[in-house]
Amino acid sequence: MTRWRKSSYSASDGNCVEVGRGVGIRDSKSPAVELPLSDRQWGALLHLVKAS
């Protein structure tokens, strides 16, 4: 079973993204839909987010 974590920067109204270590990301409002990410893809996503 994947352990999902919400960002500490998530809004209190439920609009947030959850991260599952080694799995990917998902929208907390639609937890059945997951976006799988490899380690390389995760690193690229973090790089883009930090650069924006």
Q: Taking the model in full, what pTM does it have?
A: 0.60
> Is 30 contained in some domain?
yes
Q: How far apart are CA 28 and CA 34, in angstroms?
A: 10
Q: How far apart are CA 40 and CA 3, in angstroms?
A: 20
User: How many domains does the structure of the chain reveal?
Assistant: 1
Give tens-digit pLDDT for 14-52. Answer: 678 788 877 788 888 888 888 888 889 988 988 998 998
pLDDT at 50 (0 to 100): 92
Contact 26, 35 (CB under 8 A): yes
> Is 6 contained in some domain?
no
> Is 27 contained in some domain?
yes
22: domain range? Answer: 18-52
> Is 47 contained in some domain?
yes
Q: How far apart are CA 6 and CA 17, in angstroms?
A: 6
